[in-house]
Homo-oligomer: A and B are copies of this chain.
Amino acid sequence: MHLFYQPEAPTIAALTEDDSRHAVKTLRLGMGDEILVTNGQGRQFAGVITKADHRQCAFRITEEKITPARPFSIRICVAPTKNLDRIEWFVEKAVELGIEQISFFFSQHSERRVLKTERIEKIAVSAMKQSLQSWMPRIDEAVSFKQLLASVSDEGQRFLAHLPDHEIPSHLFRAAQTNKIYTVLIGPEGDFAEQEIQQALQAGFRMVTLGPNRLRTETAALAACQMLNLLNQ
């Protein structure tokens, strides 16, 4: 059955304009057809379409299922890649695998200086629906590296994915403990500036490696996300 996203459900028992069009025009759903609706805050509703209007498709709730928040939370902070597709697929895949928060920052070495999150938000929503989840991850607007560090709370585990030339740090999969609040910083395509690394270490971030191979920014971001999910499965 199809899952739709209505942040205002159950207060509003009608699909958003986008989802209404999708349900009625694309999927040809009609009166009496059963649908699933999530509010992205852990509540999923089974419903029946009562008004198949492509501008506002109304439904009657027949059942509710509550999914509690996970006992851990994953926040990945990444610098936008030069090629936007790469960040967009990271978002789609990270949401499918499970993530609570995606934050973007501009590093000294990142070429891209502008990032519109509207399209990224849409990608996250459809990935949440596609993977049948009931929690919508938080997508943060891009900020400076300094602002990003300031936004990280002191609780939980903080990791910096970076390979220094001299020594190899411990593997994220071993450094992370289960059921924690994780924040991981992923280096930009040009890697972090030395100053940024020092700022992160001072802010309580621990240097980790993600494995033996040199990974692209978006691959590293996804690898970190999956490791932390796997650790808690």
Contact residues of A between 189 and 233, Cβ < 8 Å to B = 211-216, 219, 222-223, 226-227, 229-230, 233
Known: A173-B230, A226-B226, A230-B173. A219 touches B132 (CB 8 A): no
Provide the bound-state CA to CA distance between A131 and B226, in Å. Answer: 19
Q: State the oligomeric state as a number of copies.
A: 2
Which residues of chain B come closer than 8 Å to A20, judged between CB atoms? none
The count of residues in chain A whose C-beta lies closer than 8 Å to any C-beta of chain B is 25
CB pair A131 B213 closer than 8 Å: yes
Residues A96 and B216 in contact, CB atoms below 8 Å apart: yes
What residues of B have a CB within 8 angstroms of the CB of A187 in the complex?
none
Whether a CB of chain B sits under 8 angstroms from the CB of A171 is: yes
Cα distance, A91 to B131, chains bound together (Å): 21
A93 with B222, Cβ < 8 A, contacts A132-B213, A214-B131, A230-B230 known: yes
- The 8 A CB mask of A97-127 against B (1 = contact, 0 = none) is 1100000000000000000000000000000
Interfacial residues, chain A to chain B (CB-CB below 8 A): 89, 93, 96-98, 130-133, 171, 173, 211-216, 219, 222-223, 226-227, 229-230, 233
